[in-house]
Structure formats: structure tokens, C-alpha cells
Structure 1
Amino acid sequence: MQVATKAIVISAVKYGDTSLIVKCYTSEEGVKNYLLQGILNKKKGKLNKSQFFPLSILQINASHNNKGSLNRITEAKISHPFQTLHVDMLKQSIVFFLSEFLSSVLKEEEGENDVLFDFLENAIVWLDYHDQVANFHLKFLIELTKCLGFYPDETNKEKGYFFDLLEGKYITNQGMNVIQGEQLHLFNMALGIKFDVLDKTLFNKNQRAIVLDLLLKYYQLHMVSFRRPKSLDILSKVLE
């Protein structure tokens, strides 16, 4: 089936000596995997390896097969030319972390999700255009839970002395998988972050690391397939 769709590049892995297997989140059909044969040898043509930088936003024409098989891209154009993501070291580290993170949580069988695609596109463009981005990945992971269906229930936030990571809600009694005290305070601060005031949220490197670890635990408890990104160490060093 021939499809014209917007697509966000999640990852690109070398296949053989000259090809790439590219994972994209498309606006039309969700996650799709593509085989780009010989692209590493091509200097001209409708496809270029530079188009498939992680989190690139593309307009593609593609041939989609049944789920579970590799698809083909016949033409690709950059929908949003990046201004800073290719050249800013911190942003590059965030991009590679989010690329690995999204590869773990977005699966082909989940299909289309317009809200998720719009969130990914808008967040990536925001990252490209703004300078104060040290807390961006925290806000991104929190907002992503809304799209995936397990955003924390804040109903009893004012009354809860604990937050249950497994149940995803505030509670008044101690139990397993709960956070409290300073961890809960930092978690609450993170939930209150807004994109337009990211630069006003003051986390030091230790606090940022605590919040990120809590969010990764939250994902681990809610997504069976989730793996902690290996690129986390690199991002942590860049943020020091």
C-alpha cells in the first residue's frame, strides 16, 4: 500500500555495509520500520542518510507492508529543517537519549495515535528553537505518559503523603513502590513544569538525576518492554 505521511525518525541502525533499518513514528499508521537499501553509498537521489538523523521530522512517500515486515521509503523531504539540534552538544545528547527511550516504549503493534504524533512533533520543534533545555527531557517524559495512558493521577495530591509509582496516584498510607519526603517534593516540582517556563525550574544536577531516576522507575512499572537507555550515562555527564 502506497502512503504519503509525516514521519518522525526514532532510530536508524546500520544493516550490512551500505543499508539502514529506520524506525519512524508516522502520523498515518504509528510505528513503522523501513529498510533503506544502499543509502550509505548514495551521494544523490530521493533519499539521503542525513535525512534520517534521530528525531528528524519528514514528509515521506512509502510502501507499507503487513505489520512485522520491513517497509520501503521511496521519497523523503525534511519537514522541519533543524537550526540547532545538529550542532548543540547538550541538545544532541538529549536527542540520542530520547531516541533510545522512544525506541523502547513505542511499538509497531500500537498503531496510529494523533495526540502522540502531535506531541512528539511540537516537542522536538520546541527543543530546536529554545536555549535553556537542561530540564527538557524531564518534561518530555512526564508529558509522554499522557499520550501513553498512565499520567499520574493528581486527584489527592494535596492530601497524599506518598505517591504510589505502581498505582500512579497519591495515597495517605505507606506501601510498596512509594516515594515520600524529598523525593516526593522533587517529583511534585517536576509535574508542575511548563514548557514555557522550563528555564525558571531550578534543579541542580543531583536533583535532576533523582527526578529522572523516579521517572524511569515509573516507566518500568507501567511498561513491560521498557529498558533503561544506555545513553543515560552520556546525558548525565553532559548535564554536569
Structure 2
Amino acid sequence: MLVKTRAIIIHSIRYREADLIVKAYTQSSGLKSYLVRGVLKSKKGKLRASMFQPLTLLDIEANHKDKGTLESFKEAKVNPAYQTLTTNIYKSSIAMFLAEVLHQAIQEEEQNTSLFQFLEESFLWLDANEKYANFHLLFMVKLSSFLGFYPHQYHPDLPYFNLLDGEYQLDDTNKYCIQNENSELLKQFLLVNYNTASTIKLNQVKRKNFIEMLVLYFELHLHGFKKPRSLDILHQLF
């Protein structure tokens, strides 16, 4: 079936000499995998390898057989082109990290318009704004709501955050209950948006500890989720 839809590139890997296998999150059909033939050699074709960098936003026309095999693009157009996300080393490092997170976290091949809208609006915000040091932290907190484990039963007086159950509570009930700077920071991130997240002041150590806690949180709730390899680069840059 020929489908026209918006798509966000999540991951691409070289296949054979000149092909790419691309994973994209589509507005119409959720996660899809595509074989892009000859794109690493072609200089005149309609499809170019640069279109399939992590988090690129595309309008695509694709053949979806929906049989669990690799699909194929008929046409693809970058829309819109990022202004800073691919040229700013800090933003591109965030993009690489979040693409890794999404590659592991999203598995469903079904339409989820709300999730697609969240991803698209988030990446456009990152591209357009200057104060983004806490962006990836808030992004992961927000993403958890679409994956089914957003922190709940929040109350400012409850001291422990239970990473296993995803809730604040009065007592320490298992080894994944934390009462420290990270549990207090999470309370702050639950109350801000991208525009106000920069008001949360973090030094390198605090930011590193908080994101390590978020990675553990994802590991506990998503089967097979592992610490992204690009996280070490983020630690160095931020």
C-alpha cells in the first residue's frame, strides 16, 4: 500500500556496500524499517544519505506491505530542515543520545499520533532555542508518559521515589527507593516545560547523576533497554 506520511528518523545502519537500513517513527504507522538501496553511492538520486541522520524530519511516500519485512521509500523530502541541530556540536550530541533512547524504547508498529506530535514538537523546539542544557533530561521524563511509566502519586512532602513502581511514597520499601538530590530534582522536572526547564540550575555532577538515574528508571521499565553508548559523550560536553 502506498502511504504518504510524516516520519522521524530514529536509526540507520549501512547494509552491504551502498544500502541503508533505516528505522523511522511514522505518523501513520508507528515504527517502520526501510531498505534504501544504493543511497551511499548515488549522487543524483532523489534520496540522499544525509536525509537519514538521527531525528531528521521527513515527508515521505512509501510502500508499506505490512508483512514484517523491510519497506521501501518512493519519495522523501526533508521538512523542515534543521537550522542548528546538525551543526551545533552540543545539540547534535543530544540528538544522537535521544535517537539511541528512542531506538531502544519504541517498538510498536502502530499509529500513536500523540507520541509523534510530542517528538516532532520537541525536536523543533531544540532546534530553535538557545537554553537547552536540561532539554534531554526533561525529554526523558516526558517520554516516560507515552511509554507507560510516568512518575505518579506526586506530592511534595513524600520523600522517597520508588523507581520500580514509578511513584513517590512515605517509606523505603525496596532497594530502588531513593531519597536524595535526584528524587528532589525529579519533583522539579515534573513541574516545568521546555521553556522553563533552564531555571533548574545543575552543575556537571548533578546533571550526570540525574541522567544516570533516568537511564536506570528506563532500564527497570523497558525490557532490553541498556545505557546508551553516546551518554559518555554527553557527560563530557555538559
Normalised TM-score (structure 2): 0.96
The aligned counterpart of 1:29 is 29
Alignment of 1:149-228 (within 5 A): 149-153=148-152, 155-176=153-174, 177-228=176-227
Deviation per residue, 1:163-210 (Å, 9 max, x gap): 111111111111211110323222222323321123322111111111
Of residues 48-57 and 31-40 in structure 1, the stretch that sits farther from structure 2 once superposed is: 48-57
Which residue identity is paired with 2:36? Answer: L
The aligned counterpart of 1:78 is 78
For residues 225 and 166 of structure 1, the distance between their equivalents in structure 2, rounded to whole angstroms, comes to 16
The aligned counterpart of 1:56 is 56
Q: Gaps spanning 5+ residues in structure 2: where?
A: none
Q: What RMSD over aligned residues (CA atoms) do the two structures have, in Å?
A: 1.2
Q: Residue 146 of structure 1: CA displacement?
A: 1.3
Q: Residue 110 of structure 1: CA displacement?
A: 4.3
For residues 198 and 183 of structure 1, the distance between their equivalents in structure 2, rounded to whole angstroms, comes to 15
Alignment of 1:101-140 (within 5 A): 101-107=101-107, 109-140=108-139
Which residue identity is paired with 1:173? Answer: D
Deviation per residue, 1:95-117 (Å, 9 max, x gap): 1101111100111x441111100
For residues 8 and 183 of structure 1, the distance between their equivalents in structure 2, rounded to whole angstroms, comes to 31
The aligned counterpart of 2:17 is 17
| C-alpha spacing 1:43/1:216, structure 2 compared with 1 (3 Å) | same
| C-alpha spacing 1:194/1:156, structure 2 compared with 1 (3 Å) | closer
3-state secondary structure, aligned to 2:34:
strand
Which residue identity is paired with 2:167? Answer: K
| C-alpha spacing 1:67/1:180, structure 2 compared with 1 (3 Å) | farther
Normalised TM-score (structure 1): 0.95
For residues 231 and 140 of structure 1, the distance between their equivalents in structure 2, rounded to whole angstroms, comes to 16
For residues 225 and 109 of structure 2, the distance between their equivalents in structure 1, rounded to whole angstroms, comes to 15
The aligned counterpart of 1:46 is 46
List 4+ stretches of structure 1 deviating above 4 A.
none
